[in-house]
């Protein structure tokens, strides 16, 4: 028998070989079994769980450990929903996560009924519990109107054949909640106002999705086409509801990239003072909820630019924000049940120009009532006119 010696300790080389074989075997087994145990996956709708009434397809993005097996099955809605564009009876599909982009496409027929319908897609990774995705298809005439008299942030409606009112919903902790509502002007190819609540429930750590897309509820012909590239000139695709106000879930954030939430906004306004104003607004969120309406105003002398497809679109002359919340932030009351002394409000009227990379100045601060007179809209209809006369910038962290 051959021995090797080191530091006066002799070890049979045959035993070394056996130990090496056992180690390799153990490592191999660990790679196999441990790999299975560490396999995991995540999935989310690419854009939204809500689609229009016309036939089409939606996509679920799949991410996770390469090699992880996934199984998907349509458990409800199989009469109009499928996993294949060629075989409308195919209700299940399996796959393995690869490096790069992994997508599960879900195909659906037209909904010609007067009611929306819901399909359910169950998706399971390896030995993880299955996750169920709801796909909501709107009816032909459905618009998802805001709850005008219920939600504190919704302005009073105005009758105008050019206006379309829409609310977008999203899933949060397996519950469907409102994301935001808009008053979209088809002649301006933009929302005149976007109303939304800000609360810690809407804030998280999801990365900005940058999934520029058409709003599925508004006819595409009325929307600016900046899904691939921005507006012409020095204009950004300016959010009215900021992406950073909706980073609790991927779906919530993706919906902020709808074209209906965009306007052509000067890059040196959008990225500088306006961005700081958005951060200042977000910092005022509270347990009772902060209610916000952001809007675009097209006044005298409004100019035009082009969208990403070279179509002419109007450029706003001004932007505004109006804010409402309880003074303490922790009353536990609905807005309609609060006294005037318990509420605070403020407005911001912004010229469409570069202010420089500065903090929001007091010069843009005004009252909600003043912005009502400028725009013709009635904001926060649940509160008194005296509350809407307030203009106290320091109360909102603006000095």
- pLDDT attached to residue 16: 41
Is the pLDDT assigned to residue 99 strictly greater than 80? Answer: yes
pTM: 0.79
**CA-to-CA dists, residue 119 to 44, 63, 70, 216, 314, angstroms:** 15, 22, 19, 17, 39
pLDDT, tens digit, 9 for 90 and up, residues 143-164: 788 999 999 999 999 999 999 9
- pLDDT attached to residue 38: 61
The answer to whether 324 and 345 have CB atoms below 8 angstroms apart is yes
| Residue 99 structure tokens | 């490096």
- pLDDT attached to residue 28: 39
Query: CA-CA distance, 44 to 57, in Å (whole number)?
Result: 15
- pLDDT attached to residue 141: 73
Is the pLDDT assigned to residue 22 strictly greater than 50? Answer: no
Topology of the domain covering 143-396: Extracellular Endonuclease; Chain A (3.40.570)
**CA-to-CA dists, residue 17 to 2, 4, 10, 63, angstroms:** 12, 12, 14, 41
Question: Which residue is associated with the tokens 């922790």?
Answer: 330
**Distant-in-sequence, close-in-space partners of 142: CB < 8 Å, separation ≥ 6:** 53, 116, 217
**CA-to-CA dists, residue 99 to 36, 66, 154, 250, angstroms:** 17, 6, 44, 21
**CA-to-CA dists, residue 34 to 31, 37, 70, angstroms:** 5, 5, 18
Q: Which of 162, 398, 125, 178 is nearest to 292 (CA)?
A: 178
| DSSP H helical ranges for the chain | 13-38, 250-255, 267-268, 274-282, 368-375
**Domain extent listing, the chain:** 41-139, 143-396
CATH code matching the domain that covers 41-139, chosen among 3.40.50.360, 1.10.510.10, 2.60.40.10, 3.90.1560.10:
2.60.40.10
**CA-to-CA dists, residue 350 to 94, 210, 274, 293, angstroms:** 52, 25, 9, 14
Length in residues, the chain: 399
Q: Percentage helix, strand, coil, to 5, in the chain?
A: 20, 35, 45
- Which 8-state DSSP code applies to residue 258? B
| Residue 395 structure tokens | 């109360």
- pLDDT attached to residue 88: 83
Query: CA-CA distance, 226 to 253, in Å (whole number)?
Result: 17
What average pLDDT does this structure show over 90-115?
A: 92
- pLDDT attached to residue 7: 40
> Fold match between 41-139 and 143-396?
no
């Amino acid at each position: 028998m051959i021995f090797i010696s080191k530091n006066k300790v002799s070890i049979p080389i045959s035993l070394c070989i056996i130990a090496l074989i056992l180690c390799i075997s153990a490592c191999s087994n660990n790679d196999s079994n441990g790999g299975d145990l560490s396999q995991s996956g995540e999935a989310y709708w690419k854009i939204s769980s809500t689609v229009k009434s016309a036939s089409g397809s939606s996509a679920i993005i799949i991410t996770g450990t390469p090699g992880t097996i996934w199984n998907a099955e349509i458990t409800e809605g199989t009469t109009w929903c499928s996993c294949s564009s060629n075989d409308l009876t195919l209700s299940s599909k399996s796959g393995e996560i690869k490096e790069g982009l992994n997508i599960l496409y879900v195909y659906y027929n037209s909904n010609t009924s007067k009611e929306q319908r819901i399909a359910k897609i169950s998706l399971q990774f390896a030995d993880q519990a299955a996750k169920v995705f709801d796909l909501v298809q709107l009816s032909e005439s459905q618009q998802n109107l805001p709850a005008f008299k219920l939600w504190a942030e919704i302005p009073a409606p105005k009758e105008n054949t050019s206006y379309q009112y829409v609310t977008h919903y999203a899933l949060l902790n397996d519950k469907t909640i409102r994301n935001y509502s808009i008053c979209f002007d088809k002649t301006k190819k933009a929302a005149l106002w976007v109303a939304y609540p800000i609360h810690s429930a809407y804030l998280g750590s999801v990365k900005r999705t940058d999934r520029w897309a058409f709003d599925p509820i508004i006819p595409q012909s009325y929307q600016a086409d900046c899904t691939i590239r921005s507006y012409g000139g020095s204009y950004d695709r300016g959010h009215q509801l900021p992406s950073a106000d909706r980073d609790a879930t991927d779906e919530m954030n993706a919906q902020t990239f709808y074209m209906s939430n965009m306007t052509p906004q000067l890059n040196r306004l959008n990225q500088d003072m306006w961005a700081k104003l958005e951060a200042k607004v977000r910092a005022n969120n509270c347990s009772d909820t902060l209610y916000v309406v952001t809007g675009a105003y097209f006044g005298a002398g409004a100019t035009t630019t082009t969208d990403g497809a070279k179509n002419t679109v109007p450029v706003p002359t001004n932007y505004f924000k109006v804010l409402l919340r309880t003074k303490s932030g922790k009353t536990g009351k609905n807005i309609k049940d609060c006294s005037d002394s318990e509420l605070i409000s403020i407005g911001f009227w912004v010229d469409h120009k570069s202010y420089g990379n500065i903090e929001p100045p007091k010069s843009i601060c005004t009252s909600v009532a003043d912005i009502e007179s400028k725009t013709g809209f009635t904001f926060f209809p649940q509160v008194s006119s005296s509350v809407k006369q307030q203009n106290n910038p320091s109360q909102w962290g603006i000095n």
